[in-house]
Amino acid sequence: MNIKRFDMLTASERDAAYDNTAAVSNSAQQLMDFEERSAFLLTQVACQQDLRYGPKERQLFDYFPGKRDAPTLIFVHGGYWQMRHKNTFRFVVEGALMQGLNAALIGYTLAPQASLAQIVQEVRQGIAAVSAHAVKSGANKHVFVSGWSAGGHLAALCLGCEAVVAGLGVSGIYDLAPIRMTYLNRALQLTEQDTDIYSPMALSAVEKPFVIAFGTQELPQLKSQSKAFSEYRLNLPGCLLPVSGADHFSILNDLADPHGALLPALLSA
């Protein structure tokens, strides 16, 4: 749906178009399962938890050491820039660890305590800090940045970071213009200028590989965001990757699975 047609919807219809929690009936159960799996992973592997990259409460990252001289996978959580916590999503790095990669998750200050500009800057700082820590810990200098939902948006904006060699957006947001017209903007307070500066589809495309993944059972607007961004990046390295049967939450199981489609697509992009 293009922006003009989206503008013609009622306010409640626009809100529903991006309300993933309401659209997935068992979303609360899935998130609880993520919490449990993440807690269990900490009992099975080494993890340096809550390493600080800045002075604010959420400016922390977790680092999971893998094989020496291996690259590092960074994951940025979602929650529409105003919800969720990195700790819930630690389980997603299990597949990367099983393949010998190093892995990290970055936290960041949420809206409305931080503007989107501040959030983007924090995540970029986090990537730099993880990269330096990884190399110091024996990893090579290559970083893959990944993110889910709002984290997919942040991953796309951070593709140009110096250490990053490729990226993965999972169910990401790449055009912020519709977000301004939903309930989500009460916390974000995005302006039209913000949509121009911080929408990946409004910026010059970074010529590094970027895998754009979405679940076939997602809301139409989420699928449209991924498809439109893939068209925007036409002829650039990467691919559009539909995950059959996955909803906005269950798609993360594919990333956590060493035999899933997402991680191999990213590593070979």
What pLDDT score was predicted for residue 7?
Answer: 83
Averaged pLDDT for residues 211-228: 97
Tokens at 61, concatenated = 């990252």
- Whole-angstrom distance, CA of residue 139 vs CA of residue 48: 15
Query: CATH topology for 3-267?
Result: Rossmann fold (3.40.50)
- Whole-angstrom distance, CA of residue 240 vs CA of residue 259: 18
- 54-68 pLDDT tens trace: 999 999 999 999 999
Look over the chain and give the mean of its residue pLDDT values, rounded to a whole number: 96
- 87-144 pLDDT tens trace: 999 999 999 999 999 999 999 999 999 999 999 999 999 999 999 999 999 999 999 9
What pLDDT score was predicted for residue 181?
Answer: 95
- Whole-angstrom distance, CA of residue 169 vs CA of residue 172: 5
What pLDDT score was predicted for residue 8?
Answer: 87
Domain assignments of the chain as residue spans, ordered by start: 3-267
Assess whether pLDDT exceeds 70 at residue 215: yes
Whether 215 contacts 250, CB under 8 Å:
yes
What pLDDT score was predicted for residue 4?
Answer: 54
- 152-180 pLDDT tens trace: 999 999 999 999 999 999 999 999 999 99
- Whole-angstrom distance, CA of residue 229 vs CA of residue 207: 14
Assess whether pLDDT exceeds 60 at residue 3: no
pTM of the complete model: 0.96
Percentage helix, strand, coil, to 5, in the chain?
45, 15, 40
What pLDDT score was predicted for residue 2?
Answer: 53
Confidence of residue 257 (pLDDT cuts 50, 70, 90): very high
- Which distant-in-sequence residues (6+ apart) come within 8 Å of 229 by Cβ? 156, 169, 172, 174, 175, 200, 201, 212
What pLDDT score was predicted for residue 1?
Answer: 47
Averaged pLDDT for residues 239-267: 97
